[in-house]
Amino acid sequence: MQPLGQIVNRLARVYGEPAAPPARTLLDLVLLENVAYLVDDVGRGRAFDALRARIGLQPAQILAAPDEALEAVAAEGILPRSQADKLKAIARLAVDEFDGDLEALRTWPLEKARKALTRFPSIGEPGAEKILLVGRSHPVLGLDSNGVRVLTRLGLVREAKSYAATYRGVQALLEPYRSNGFEWLLRAHQLLRQHGQELCRRTHPRCDRCPLTAECAYYALTREP
């Protein structure tokens, strides 16, 4: 099996080089994850822009906002009332536990920073690591389920009985790559995620268009003789 860097380079030849995500505060990224539910990246971005323009991103602004205004922002996805409640819960926790600013987490050890972020609504361990990566706070490759699926199908990680155990296997695999730095990790994160979304899909994967079939354990098991 090729090193991960070579795999990512082959994906880049299919999808093109991804644009680097914009710089955001850690609190911005927590809000971004919760601003709309069951919506794609474009829709979530629109909701986040609406939150910033209509209400503001500071905890005090969110806590002072009428519920109806927050629901209107969250209506980009489903269950806007639930997401509005989450936005207020985020703002309240940020004020009560972090003095309204999560940037101090950048100086914390990875385990402590990750644990702090999982206290916020809808943020599990993978989501916390994604925030720390995209926020360029801690160099950790926090993959979502799309990227994890690519690695398990390639046979680089064993799929365990629980997703948590599988994810621990992913992090063990990726540990040596942390020293490559943020831009390398962000590129790998985006390309593995995109591959899982577009070709290596959970159902009906497009193996006929995949550039990695020669090394893929899943393809070797499922292809027709």
DSSP string, 201-219: -SSS--GGG-TTGGG-HHH
Can you give the pLDDT at residue 2?
Answer: 62
From first to last of its 225 residues, what are the pLDDT tens digits of the chain?
568 999 999 999 999 999 999 999 999 999 999 999 999 999 999 999 999 999 999 999 999 999 999 999 999 999 999 999 999 999 999 999 999 999 999 999 999 999 999 999 999 999 999 999 999 999 999 999 999 999 999 999 999 999 999 999 999 999 999 999 999 999 999 999 999 999 999 999 999 999 999 989 999 998 866
Can you give the pLDDT at residue 222?
Answer: 87
Query: In whole angstroms, what is the distance from residue 74 CA to residue 102 CA?
Result: 22
Query: In whole angstroms, what is the distance from residue 165 CA to residue 27 CA?
Result: 28
* CA 135 centroid distance within chain: 11
Can you give the pLDDT at residue 54?
Answer: 97
What CATH superfamily is the domain 26-122? Answer: Hypothetical protein; domain 2 (1.10.340.30)
Can you give the pLDDT at residue 65?
Answer: 98
DSSP string, 25-57: -HHHHHHHHHSSBS--HHHHHHHHHHHHHHT-S
pTM of the model: 0.93
Residues forming a β-bridge with 78: 37
Can you give the pLDDT at residue 103?
Answer: 97
Can you give the pLDDT at residue 102?
Answer: 97
What's the topology of domain 4-18+142-222? Answer: Endonuclease Iii, domain 2 (1.10.1670)
Q: What are the domain boundaries of the chain?
A: 4-18+142-222, 26-122
**pLDDT tens digits along 175-189:** 999 999 999 999 999
What is the longest distance spanned by two Cα atoms in the chain? Answer: 63
